[in-house]
Structure 1
Amino acid sequence: MSISIPLSAILFDAYGTLLDLGFITERAEQAFPGHGAQLSALWRDKQLNYTWLRTIAGHYADFATVTADALDYSIERLALTASPQSRDELLAAYWSLPSFPEAAAALTHLRHKGLRLGVLSNGTPAMLEAALRSSGLDGLFDDVLSVDAAGSYKTARAAYQLGPDRLNLPLERILFVSSNGWDICGATWFGYRTFWVNRAGHPPERLGVSPNATGRSLTDLMPLFV
């Protein structure tokens, strides 16, 4: 890993990094048999697209609103019919996501190494509080930061600035961890040291920047802090 001075803190993305979005696919399949994978993929893509479009245009709406709008679009796009109950149950899944199996052990190891741990996520404060509590990870973080405070989504600089502002640390002392290649690029551009949890084995984004290190799970972070 390429760092010039020791790290003092680690900030984690939440969705897909700590919290397993495969749970959304399972719930979508229960609601719409035979369409779960297609619906969940379109929903996630549209959810992210709406965050970027709203940030570019300066029309912020919180992540709960964006998530609901993206679901409604996706259901209509796929010509599915959702009852109010099934729609509400799908949205509620974002508030009760499980963590990835290795997350608790990896975070506990990092805490024992004296690192300050935090979350920096697009989720609303209420969504993050509920999901971290449901996943059992809520007691492992010193800071939980929502982009609500910036009024802009990642990859806006204002969103990433929440980290050093809260931690009161220089950027080179903070490691940013995400499973999303676009998020890693944004954080690297901003100035964080970055670790890409490339769970899906995707190729790197062609945006002229690279993470400082890459692994396939959060477990791969642990050898960096022995």
Structure 2
Amino acid sequence: MAEPQFDDIAACVFDAYGTLFDFASTVARCRDQLGDKADQLNTIWRAKQLEYAWTSSLMGRHSDFWHITGAALDFAFEALGIEDPALRARLMQLYLDIDSFDDVTPVLEHLREAGMKRVILSNGSVTMLVSATKHAGIGKLLDDTISIEEAGLYKPHPAAYRLAVDKLKLPAHQICFLSANGWDTAGGAAFGFQVVRVNRTGQPAEKLGVGPVAEISSLSELPALLGL
């Protein structure tokens, strides 16, 4: 077992999309219909989804993540010249029934057995998160699922991260925050969490001047990191 790098951690807080749930799986399940446009669609859809979320917060015109996800998909369809209402409906439904990564359930079970609190903190709407956790069968393994809708501001705004502190009634430094998204790890670190990046695809470190204290390529590495 690796030497633990964290002391006094009382809870693990997980980002959802890209960390627990594989957003690329949605498009992958429609690859037969999308053909050579599948990868482009996945890239544009995700990029616009994040762009619209951040922009809505900056403009002070909040819109929930389900609406934003649909608007981003509409942009991607138009950019790629796709006109197919049935395919759009299928992709949106698949986003509700999104696949989790294979390492998620075993790690959540391990953390539960070790007595570590387990929480999701996501930009996703309540409806999206309820559906995703139900589809993955992990709802019973979580102590709470927090949507930023309660703050009305998207991560990486500090108000979004503060929801976890308030719900758990723990100081930020006792929370291990995990995300696959570099911008999210920077936001969590700036807020004061002990941050681990789940770098599933080997992306380079972000150049934002603040970031994670550790990096893993799979959630299966987390228990050893925490000394559990």
Q: Distance in 1 between matches of 2:154 and 2:36?
A: 32
- 1:80 offset after TM fit, Å? 1.6
- Looking at structure 1, the residues matched to 96 and 167 of structure 2 have their Cα atoms a distance apart, in angstroms, of 24
Give 1:42-53 correspondences, 5 Å limit. Answer: 42-53=44-55
Report if aligned partners of 1:196, 1:215 keep a CA contact under 8 Å in 2: yes
Asked if 1:210 corresponds to 2:197, the answer is no
Matched residue, 1:40:
42
Q: Give the aligned partner of residue 17 of structure 1.
A: 19
Match of 1:189 in 2: 190
Question: For the residues of structure 2 that align with 1:191 and 1:204, how far apart are their CA atoms?
Answer: 18
1:87 has 2:68 as partner: no
Give ranges in structure 1 of 5+ residues lacking alignment: none
**1:105-149 C-alpha deviation (Å, 9 max, x unpaired):** 111111111111000001111110111110111111001000110
**Matched positions, count:** 224
> Does 1:129 pair with 2:136?
no
What is residue 110 of structure 1 aligned with on the other side?
111
TM-score where L is the length of structure 1: 0.96
Cα distance in 1 between the residues matched to 2:152 and 2:103: 32
* Structure 2 letter corresponding to 1:167: L
- In 1, the alpha carbon distance for the partners of 2:203 and 2:136 equals 26
Whichever residue aligns with residue 210 of structure 1, its letter is: G
One-letter amino acid of the structure 2 residue matched with residue 95 of structure 1 = L
Q: Per-residue deviation at 1:28?
A: 4.0
Structure-1 residue corresponding to 2:148: 147
Deviation of 1:167 (Å): 0.4
Contact 1:75 1:81 in 2 (8 A): yes
C-alpha distance in 2, partners of 1:78/1:216? 32
Instruction: Compute the displacement of 1:37 (Å).
Output: 0.8
Alpha-carbon offset, residue 150 of structure 1: 0.5
Give aligned-pair identity as a percent: 39
Q: What letter corresponds to residue 115 of structure 2 in structure 1? A: G
CA RMSD of aligned residues (A): 1.1
> Structure 1: which amino acid aligns with 2:54?
W
Q: Which runs of 5+ in 2 are unaligned?
A: none
